[in-house]
Amino acid sequence: MLAENFTLNNENIIEYLDEENLTETDKLSRDLLVDYLSMKKSGTLNENKSNLVEYLSQGAINSSADMMGKTYTYSDLNIVESNTKNEFDEYKTIFIKTMTFNNNPSQDFTIFKNALQSKDKLKLKELNTIISLYEGMLKNLLKMNVPSDLAQSHLIILNSFDDMIESTKIMSNIFEDPVAGLAGMSARISSEEVFLVGLNKLNDILEK
């Protein structure tokens, strides 16, 4: 419980007993409590209620921005300078084999939604299997030989897919850390949108 994690010092200033182990929910609750007490003391609580709501929403958004995975660069890719049709065809064959999903990625949200509706955290364990599958796919993306003309698109796909993995991990902790879990869901949606942009960009080049 949050209340067990803080105390008041001699000047009635909130101090946390275990700062390093606070979850995103704890941190957001702490900051919200500080603002609440400050407004109540100054008599400005009623006129600042909307600000508190905005602060709560912004806190979740800011949390999602910190949940992205590693940023890969061109130096992480096995780039080949040859851009022949044979190289493109070979890349396409390996890419399709690598990125064949057992389930539609949108199913991840169905699992997440079902767990929340039933309040059954055990249902989220299904995401662990999916995450392991994604991590294997990511490793194979890194191993691929990438024609230089496809490197930019490949990099977009690689980074956004890694972000999808990291945000899905955080989503799966929704019951332990609700704020971070919801922010993880937001980050997952954003990263999947970028992933699809990368796929479309890659497809446009391969289909020329």
pLDDT by position in tens, the chain (length 208): 334 443 444 444 334 444 555 555 455 444 544 444 454 455 554 444 455 444 444 544 454 445 566 889 999 999 999 899 999 999 999 999 998 876 677 788 888 888 888 889 899 998 998 999 999 999 999 999 999 999 999 999 999 999 999 999 988 988 888 878 878 888 888 888 889 999 988 988 888 7
Q: Which of 17, 57, 53 is nearest to 35 (CA)?
A: 53
Q: Which of 131, 142, 135, 129 is nearest to 94 (CA)?
A: 142
- pTM higher than 0.75, yes or no? no
Phi/psi of residue 116, each to 5°? Answer: -70, -45
Domain ranges of the chain: 2-65, 74-206
